[in-house]
Amino acid sequence: MAPITRRSLLKASAATAGAFGLGIGGNLVATALSAPEPRILKTAKIQAALTDPVPTRDVLTWGDSGMPPVLRMKKGEPFAARLVNGIDEPTTIHWHGMRIPNKMDGVPFLVQPYVYTGDHFDYAFTPPDAGTFWYHPHCNTLIQMGHGLTGVIVVENPDDPQFDAEIVLNLRDWRFGDDAQFIAQFRPRDAAKSGTYGTVRTANWKVQPQYDAPAGGLLRLRTAITDVTRIHSFRLEGAQALVIAIDGNPVAPTHFPLDLLQLGPGQRMELAICMPDDEGAVVSLRDVRPSKPATLATFRAVGTSLKRDLRDVPALEPNPVLPPDVASAEHIPLVLSATAEHAASNPICGSLGYSFWAINKVPWTGDTPDPTAPLAELKLGRSYVIDMQNVTPHAHPMHLHGLSFTVLSSSTGPVRPLVSDTYLIQPDERVQLGLVADNPGDWLFHCHIIEHQKAGMTSYLRVS
Ligand code: C2O
Ligand code: CU
């Protein structure tokens, strides 16, 4: 008889977890009838021509070639995917921003075992919310995401208003040398600051791609910042546009213009763009945050004008996120800080070998009596207010898995009541995020600048 190894145990629990995932909320017969054929997502190491006729080696994707597919799902309809691991290290998939069962959340050790080379894991869930989301591994993330494993998810709502065109942009950088090959993914001195930037910027794995859209038509542009480091300040040149959704949630109560909205890694933005009437006119989406602003993608008006108007864009239907009862809410104080301990820590699933950052003074995983204890234990169904304070001189896109929060107030001035899974907190800012703890499980909470996440700025909340 084969000895029981740690690996075989994890394999056994993978099979159980997969079956459990499919069986949520129903018996096996009902599941068999309603479960869709799983979408196969097989990790692969490929060569891809990203910047150059000379292909880049060691690019990672799901599938055989090119960018990870845009996954389309429908709100309220079951989705299933089988992750097959074709690369030579363990991996998982996290469905960023999606309020799905904890077992499906893709965080190794916390909620599921590693998926080793040659193994598979079945994910199955029903998206409760419509909007733009994304997917990425939660293992050795700096390298796996840095080398390509970041894909966009569109959850459609059958009641969505009709647009004349829709374009999805996966925005990310790559760290290449002059020969279009990968260079070291990070520098420790930058990991201790705002993170290490890529050298080449792409939209849908292309440098400044151009897309056609009907002249005078309404274009729904979905963007996802899937980069591991870069914060963006978008600007649109050549057309009028309204922000209609951020981080998968319609903006309420009305749309607003794009000016000076800053979004961090992990965040998504949807624009309604009214294309110019003149055939051939070009609209550019730019990032004006860096000292040298960059054009990310352009859109060219084609055909005779459809003569639409931004006033024709109705509000999107809000997602079913419960509003927190702020009056009765318990408060959870969270302080984001730098840590003096630069000793190598031993976090789960890939380490940078440094610890520069901490939440409530504890760098993950902490040198505390229980190094893997949750930050806070929340009671299922109750309301909470996260009082988060950033005492570092850098901005941090803080992401909470499995739950959506509402931005209540900030020390920086009036806020929009955005519903989100990621809040970009500025240096010295204090912010209040309200939520209802309506999804049981252990939910990771971390900075989405992956070097910060991997150098201490990670923890989790337990809802039970
Ligand atoms: Cu985008 Cu912990 O995730
Ligand atoms: Cu950070």
Would you state the pLDDT for residue 399? 97
How does strand 330-338 pair with strand 357-359? antiparallel
In angstroms, how far is the first alpha carbon of the chain from the final one?
A: 39
Cα–Cα dist 29/31, whole Å:
5
Which residue has a Cα nearest atom 1 of ligand 1? 96
Ligand nearest to the CA of residue 145, numbered in listed order: 1
pLDDT tens for each residue of 187-231:
888 888 889 999 999 999 999 999 999 999 999 999 999 999 999
Measured from the CB, is residue 96 less than 6 Å from ligand 1?
A: yes
The dihedral built from the CA positions of residue 258, 259, 261 and 262, taken in this order, carries a sign that is positive
Q: What is the mean pLDDT of residues 27-31?
A: 42
Given a contact cutoff of 8 angstroms between Cβ atoms, the answer to whether 335 and 243 are in contact is no
Residues of the chain with CATH 2.60.40.420: 6-156, 165-312, 326-463
Beta partners for residue 359, in sequence order: 336, 362
Quick check: 447 pLDDT over 80? yes
Measured from the CB, is residue 454 less than 6 Å from ligand 1?
A: no
Ligand nearest to the CA of residue 450, numbered in listed order: 2
Measured from the CB, is residue 97 less than 6 Å from ligand 1?
A: no
Length of the chain in residues, anyone? 464
Token pair, residue 242, equals: 């309204």
Cα–Cα distance list, 61 to 83, 199, 399 (Å) = 12, 20, 23
Token pair, residue 147, equals: 């080398």
Collapse the DSSP code of 106 into the 3-class scheme (helix H, G, I; strand E, B; otherwise coil) and give the result. Answer: coil
* 369 CA → ligand 2 middle, Å: 25
Going by pLDDT thresholds of 50, 70 and 90, the confidence category of residue 261 is: confident
* 448 CA → ligand 2 middle, Å: 6
How does strand 458-463 pair with strand 441-447? antiparallel
Going by pLDDT thresholds of 50, 70 and 90, the confidence category of residue 3 is: very low
Q: What is the mean pLDDT of residues 339-353?
A: 58
Measured from the CB, is residue 396 less than 6 Å from ligand 1?
A: no
Going by pLDDT thresholds of 50, 70 and 90, the confidence category of residue 168 is: very high
Q: Is the pTM of this model over 0.85?
A: yes
Which DSSP string corresponds to 382-417? -EEEEEEEE-SSS-EEEEESS--EEEEEETTS----
CATH class of 165-312: mainly beta
Q: What is the mean pLDDT of residues 319-345?
A: 85
Q: What is the mean pLDDT of residues 314-321?
A: 92
Measured from the CB, is residue 111 less than 6 Å from ligand 1?
A: no
Going by pLDDT thresholds of 50, 70 and 90, the confidence category of residue 24 is: very low
* 80 CA → ligand 2 middle, Å: 32
* 187 CA → ligand 2 middle, Å: 15
Would you state the pLDDT for residue 400? 97
Cα–Cα dist 241/234, whole Å:
12
* 448 CA → ligand 1 middle, Å: 7
Would you state the pLDDT for residue 326? 97
Atom of ligand 1 nearest to the CA of 446: 2
Nearest to residue 35, comparing CAs of 69, 73, 77?
77
* 340 CA → ligand 2 middle, Å: 16
Q: Regarding predicted confidence, which is higher, 395 or 343?
A: 395
Written as one letter, the residue type at 376 is A
Token pair, residue 23, equals: 């069986």
Topology of the domain covering 326-463: Immunoglobulin-like (2.60.40)
Measured from the CB, is residue 217 less than 6 Å from ligand 1?
A: no
* 405 CA → ligand 2 middle, Å: 19
On whether the 6-156 domain is CATH 2.60.40.420, my answer is yes
Atom of ligand 1 nearest to the CA of 96: 1
Measured from the CB, is residue 75 less than 6 Å from ligand 1?
A: no
Quick check: 124 pLDDT over 70? yes
* 32 CA → ligand 1 middle, Å: 30
Which residue has a Cα nearest atom 3 of ligand 1? 96
Tell me which residue has tokens 């910027």: 201
Average confidence score pLDDT of the chain: 88
Atom of ligand 1 nearest to the CA of 266: 1
Measured from the CB, is residue 268 less than 6 Å from ligand 1?
A: no
pLDDT tens for each residue of 282-300:
999 999 987 788 999 999 9
Cα–Cα dist 205/407, whole Å:
32
Collapse the DSSP code of 431 into the 3-class scheme (helix H, G, I; strand E, B; otherwise coil) and give the result. Answer: strand
CB-based burial, 190-209: b 16+ in 10 Å, e otherwise: ebbebbbbbeebbbbbebee
